[in-house]
Structures are given as C-alpha cells and as structure tokens.
Amino acid sequence: MARPARAAFVTLLTTALCCGGLVSSARAVPASVQTTQQAPAVLAPATTEGAAPTAAGVAKVLAGVLKDPSLGTHHGVYVWDASRNKPVFSVGAATPYTPASTLKLLTTVSALSTLGPDHTFATKVVSAGKGSIVLVGGGDPLLAVKPSAGDGFPARATLQTLAASTAKALKAQGVASVTLGYDASLFTGPAVNTRWEANYVPEGIAAPTSALWVNEGRIAPGMAKRSTAPAQAAAVAFQKLLVQYGIKVAATKPAVAAAAATPLAQVKSPTLGQIVEYINLHSDNDGAEVLLRHVGIATSNGGSYVGGVKGVRATLTKLGLDVSKATIYDGSGLTRANKVPLDLLAGAVRVAVSKSHPELRHLLTGLPIAGFDGSLRERFTTAGTSTGLGLVHAKTGTLTGVHSLAGYARDRTGTLLVFAVASDSVPVPKTLDARAALDRTTAALATCGC
C-alpha cells in the first residue's frame, strides 16, 4: 500500500536542497509528477561535503535562542557532524534529560538492530485437538479487526482475513463448530508499566501491553478508551468473525498453544521497518511498548518491559553508544523517571546515518518532516522557524514541562548535522514558546553553514 502522497514540491525541495546523498523514501511523490529516476529504497550514506562547521560558528547562530527564558533552567543542545563523523557543539549536555517521546528512537533503533527491517510478526490460529483451536498472538502492534479507510500506511494485518482463512481450513476438514482459546503468552510480566502515571491507561494515553490485541487495545478504532483485557477483546472479535464465516464457536477462554500445534492459518504484520516508520512518525506509544518487549525476547532477556529495557541497553552498547549515564524504564518515553543524555538521543540517529548500518535506515525515513507530516505537521509556523520547513527531520518529545527534538538536517552548504535539543524545565505557561524555541534552534542548524 502506497504511503499517502504529499505535495510534489515538498518532496522535490527536501531531495534537492537538503538531502543530496540522503534521500528519504518515507512518503512518495504522486505518479503524475514523478521523474524518470526513482528514489532509492534506503538512505545513501552521508559523504563529506560542504563547509565543515565549527563549535564557534554553531555557538554564534544559536546564542540568541538558547537564552530564551521559556526554555527554563535545564536545557541544552548537542550537534554531531555526520558528514565527518565527529562532534561539533554541545551546551547543557553534561546532565541527562527527561526525553519524553524522543526515547522512542532508542527503542526503534534497537528493534531494527536486533530483528532486522524485514522482520514480520505473525498472528496464528492453531489446532488444539478435535474441535478446538487457539488464536495465538505474535506481538503485531498494528493488528486490526478489519481494514479501515483511515488506516493509511502501512497496510495492516486483520482478524477478518485470518477468520476467513481459518473458516476455510476448518470446513475443508469437515469442522463446523469449535471452542476457541486465545494465547497472549509471548509477552510476560505486568501489562502496565509501574512507572507510568495512574491516569495513562484510563484516559487512553496508553494501553495494557499485550502480544494479542486489535486496534492497539482500543474499544473501537480511533477511540482513546482502551480495553482492560485486550487479548480477550481480540478473541471475542475473532469469535464474531468466525461466526460470520459459518463456524459456530461454543466458548472463548485463555489458553497456551503447544509449540508443536498444527497451524491452520496466519496473517503477517507489515515489516518491522514500516512499523518503525509508523511509530516514529505518529509518536505511537503502544507500538513502541510492543517493540520494547520484542527487543527483550530477541536479546534473550524475556518479554517483559524490564527484559526489554535490558535488551535496549545491551543493543545500544553493541552499536557503540554509551548508556552508562542513561536511566530507562519504558519504550515510549511516557515515564518522567527516564533520564537520557543528549548525545545518546542523537546517537540513535547517528548510527542510523552511518554507512556501517544500512539495516537502521527506517529510523530516518520515518522521522516527521518539519511543517509537513506526523508530529511536526503543525510546527515551524512561528517567527524564525520557517527556514526549517521541509529541511528538519526530527522525532518530537512532549510531556508537561518537557520538550525535545532529535533528528537531522543538512545545512546550507550540504553538511549533514545530527542533533538533539531538549528542555525538561519548561514553565507550563511557556509551553508553546519553548516548543517554538526548539524549532528555531533546529531551523538555525538547517540554514547554518557555520
């Protein structure tokens, strides 16, 4: 399924002016305006080009905005020259920050590294004896009940497709009535992070994390309210679909499928690369928490959120990033107890840019583009920010009193700059002012040439 098209001039602008060798494949140009040369599926490695930025030069262009009182007392910026693979400038980076959703960069880059961008997650139905089947969750974060016009990219696996295939297989065996079990045992430990605020699940900010759910645990697609038992809700939805396809279902109950159980049908998720793009573009808390647990499993630390954090730390270390000063408790950045240095946030982007890690490129292609999509769609509209439109690619982070951005931009001479900028001491009345100050900071880097 093609990604939603954006205006042609946006894609051409970001490709011609900011990307050079770094070409985004995240959102396609409409067919009517495509050139004869297709963009590559992944980002080409950065090459040394343009003027080499200096610490003094960057300090000069950022001096004014970093004095903005709306940023509070604890704010900072870290800049890395990816074209020459060296740090350029940092201020206020000695102490870690509450990262909010920029933490998702650490989770998603770890998932790409441990599982690979082409990995998929299967939701299966297996036989559990005569007249008995089990719906087995494989940790597909985007599994839906049925296709929806609003789903967009990527195309999601659905229970409707799985039910149709299951009914066909059962009828071929002469089976018209079954008992239905459901298995969400892939993930372990508490479904809700003990570090989260008490209102997160009741208000729909996050769902209880499950290896089997539909619509990310929502009661209905698009609704904030979540089910308190998402695996059971998915099984009930599947039961109704089986009935529609002519299979009677006598009962629905929890179960654990045998490892050697005979498979009847399955559906596969989008690729992990596509899922990572979706999570970072839309700042999807639930998807990030699912991927955290997959990292835990892939690194032999188990499918709990504690195991996932251990897996993320081990993976980041393996990628050459220093996690010694980082305190991490979840995969989405929802808890304020997370504390992460700016150089580590920028580091996730830095390794994804590196020519040594093409498997991490989806981290970059899914970053929101300033003023045009995802969580940056409504940003870069205030004075001093318009120069960053289409040029700044960054993950956002927002909690009350916390704002952060981490991503990349090419400066006006062609040098690729990776950055992280944050404040976790924003006075609440100054929230919008602080956000605009961060936008001005990154816009200045995009047009720096310093």
Buried b / exposed e along 422-440 (16+ C-beta atoms within 10 A): bbbebeeebbeebbbbbbb
Output the six-digit token pair for 411.
């400066």
How many CB atoms within 10 Å of residue 47? Answer: 14
How many CB atoms within 10 Å of residue 250? Answer: 11
What are 191-204's pLDDT values in tens digits?
A: 999 999 999 999 99
Are 147 and 156 a contacting pair, CB within 8 Å? yes
Inform me whether the pLDDT recorded for 46 exceeds 90.
Answer: no
Inform me whether the pLDDT recorded for 24 exceeds 50.
Answer: no
Could you give the percent of the chain with pLDDT greater than 90?
Answer: 80
Which pairs with CB-CB distance under 8 Å and at least 24 residues apart come from 195-204? 195/329, 195/330, 195/335, 195/337, 196/330, 196/334, 196/335, 197/334, 197/335, 200/334, 201/226, 201/228
Full DSSP string of 344-375? HHHHHHHHHHSTT-GGGTHHHHTS-BTTTSGG
For the residues 295-308, what does the mean pLDDT come to? 98
Q: Which pLDDT band, with edges at 50, 70 and 90, does 109 fall under? A: very high
Q: What confidence score (pLDDT) does residue 399 get? A: 96
Q: What confidence score (pLDDT) does residue 150 get? A: 64
What are 159-176's pLDDT values in tens digits?
A: 999 999 999 999 999 999
What are 339-352's pLDDT values in tens digits?
A: 999 999 999 999 99
Radius of gyration of the chain (CA): 23
Q: Which pLDDT band, with edges at 50, 70 and 90, does 220 fall under? A: confident
Q: Which pLDDT band, with edges at 50, 70 and 90, does 47 fall under? A: low
> How far is the C-alpha of 67 from the C-alpha of 423, rounded, in Å?
12
Q: Which pLDDT band, with edges at 50, 70 and 90, does 48 fall under? A: low
Q: What confidence score (pLDDT) does residue 251 get? A: 81
What are 241-287's pLDDT values in tens digits?
A: 999 999 999 888 999 999 999 999 999 999 999 999 999 999 999 99
Residue 254's SS3 state is strand
How many CB atoms within 10 Å of residue 336? Answer: 18
Domains of the chain from N-terminus onward: 45-116+276-446 (3.40.710.10), 122-270 (3.50.80.20)
Q: What confidence score (pLDDT) does residue 275 get? A: 98
What are 397-411's pLDDT values in tens digits?
A: 999 999 999 999 988
> How far is the C-alpha of 182 from the C-alpha of 133, rounded, in Å?
9
- Give the mean pLDDT of the chain: 89
Torsion of the alpha carbons at 414, 416, 420 and 421, rounded to the nearest 10: -10
Q: Which pLDDT band, with edges at 50, 70 and 90, does 70 fall under? A: very high
Q: What confidence score (pLDDT) does residue 151 get? A: 58
Whose CA is closest to 289, among 106, 42, 49, 71? 106
Q: Which pLDDT band, with edges at 50, 70 and 90, does 110 fall under? A: very high
What are 121-136's pLDDT values in tens digits?
A: 999 999 998 899 999 9
> How far is the C-alpha of 405 from the C-alpha of 342, rounded, in Å?
10
Q: What confidence score (pLDDT) does residue 224 get? A: 85
